[in-house]
Amino acid sequence: MRVEERKELMFFNGNKTRFEMGQLLRASAETLGQGMMGNSYKAMMHDGPTIVVKRLRDLKPFSEKEFEALLRVIAGMQHPNLLPLLAYYHSRDEKLLLYKYAQNGNLFSRLHDGRDGNRVPLKWNSRLSIAKSVAGAMEYLHSNTKNPNIVPHGNLKTTNVLIDENDVALVSDYGLSALIAQPIAVQRMVIYKSPEYVQSKRVTAQSDVWSYGCLLLELLTGKISACSSPHGSNGVDLCGWVHRAVREEWTAEIFDKEIYRQKNVQSGMIRMLEIAMLCTERFPENRPGMSQVVREVEKIQAVPAASESVDEDDLSAERSFTDDSLSMYSTSHSGIILADN
């Protein structure tokens, strides 16, 4: 990265992580990826912390004052499951955002990497914890946005859910859609596109709920969504496939075998699937709000840590139980979450 040294990094009040631009320029850098809004780098400072630097591109024509004001709103969004914005850098040619580094990567990699070889399965309790954490962060964003120009999130996806060294899930990229020029944002953002977004190209709280439902489906199925599949890999139309599976009563095939064979998890998986289906209702007015989603996801209980794999006899019984339970849901479709208002 080439950065003019005539300006310094601007840290937000209350942030304990502080360092000089010179330290950042001397840091060992590693490219993490090319995102919708620019490249991200892991910067390992010799005498300071390891951070992530996001190099922005295709921004709206902000003045520096406008840019700072918008970032202060974003930095003011503080929740245990939001990735903290530490600082920024602004010059004519460079706009950088500095974030905490999440040591354990992102949810997409944790879910999908190594499926063809040896991998440590992502157990049910971990998936449930991530689902609860992301729901809480999204509810916070929906209820605490202080600037009407910042949509609640606008680009929730598994690569934007990071896992830190304590296995805490952190939602990233919140508020950034407000920085990007609208034609570019329409082309590059919103991986999980709700039916109404396809028509209107507008991000809303309801389209965020759809995205959250799609994320739950990735957690439950272990399958890559066609919307988020990397170049050269095949994905599945998760929403269409899951809704069709429930209608046709072969729902046992939905669940990821990494979690399906654990003991005592079936009722929780079914409940999460019901929530995911409500979040991905075709019409936005039929979807619950994130506060309702949080209430329902929090009711799902984790299983004892000692849960083990089941044998084939148990698996057959559980498969029958799962199909019966969800076929009842598919025929009644009683609006489980909405009924609890």
Average pLDDT in the 265-287 region?
A: 96
Q: What is the pLDDT of residues 57-108, one digit of tens each?
A: 888 888 889 999 999 989 989 999 999 999 999 988 889 999 999 999 999 9
Average pLDDT in the 242-251 region?
A: 89
Domain shared by 159 and 90, yes or no:
no
Q: What's the CATH code of the domain at 38?
A: 3.30.200.20
Mean pLDDT (the chain) is: 83
DSSP 139: H
Average pLDDT in the 38-51 region?
A: 87
pTM as predicted: 0.87
* CA neighbor of 56 nearest in space, from 66, 67, 45: 67
Residues for the chain: how many in total?
341
Domain shared by 276 and 151, yes or no:
yes
- Residue 85 has phi, psi (to 5 degrees) of -85, 120
Least confident of 22-31, 80-89, 185-194, 315-324: 315-324
Q: Are 292 and 338 in contact (CB under 8 A)?
A: yes
Q: How many CA atoms lie within 13 A of 3 on its CB side?
A: 24
Domain shared by 243 and 306, yes or no:
yes
pLDDT band at 3 (very low <50, low <70, confident <90, very high): very low
Q: Please tell me the distance from the alpha carbon of residue 241 to that of residue 255, in angstroms, as a whole number.
A: 12
263: three-class secondary structure by DSSP: coil
Task: Choose one of 100, 121, 136: the last residue of a domain.
Answer: 100
- Residue 260 corresponds to which tokens in the numbers above? 């399906």
Q: Please tell me the distance from the alpha carbon of residue 151 to that of residue 217, in angstroms, as a whole number.
A: 23
Domain shared by 169 and 294, yes or no:
yes
Q: Please tell me the distance from the alpha carbon of residue 62 to that of residue 323, in angstroms, as a whole number.
A: 54
Average pLDDT in the 29-41 region?
A: 83
Q: Are 101 and 87 in contact (CB under 8 A)?
A: no
Task: Choose one of 100, 127, 152: the last residue of a domain.
Answer: 100
Average pLDDT in the 191-204 region?
A: 81
Q: What is the pLDDT of residues 144-169, one digit of tens each?
A: 866 666 778 888 999 999 999 999 99
Of residues 181 and 249, which shows the higher confidence score?
A: 249
Average pLDDT in the 102-124 region?
A: 90
Domain encompassing residue 92: 10-100
Q: Please tell me the distance from the alpha carbon of residue 163 to that of residue 334, in angstroms, as a whole number.
A: 35
pLDDT band at 334 (very low <50, low <70, confident <90, very high): very low
Q: Please tell me the distance from the alpha carbon of residue 151 to that of residue 73, in angstroms, as a whole number.
A: 12
Average pLDDT in the 165-194 region?
A: 81
Least confident of 55-69, 106-120, 135-149, 173-187: 173-187
Least confident of 45-49, 92-96, 215-219: 45-49
Q: What is the CA radius of gyration of the chain?
A: 21
Q: Are 11 and 86 in contact (CB under 8 A)?
A: yes
Whether 250 maps to a domain, the answer reads: yes
Whether 87 maps to a domain, the answer reads: yes
Beta bridge partners of 53: 41, 98
Beta bridge partners of 35: 38
Domain shared by 16 and 140, yes or no:
no
Domain shared by 214 and 254, yes or no:
yes
Average pLDDT in the 270-281 region?
A: 96
Task: Choose one of 100, 121, 144: the last residue of a domain.
Answer: 100
Q: What's the CATH code of the domain at 165?
A: 1.10.510.10
Q: Are 82 and 143 in contact (CB under 8 A)?
A: no
Q: If you write DSSP's letter for every residue of 204-224 in order, what string do you get?
A: -HHHHHHHHHHHHHHHHH-PP
Average pLDDT in the 305-328 region?
A: 49
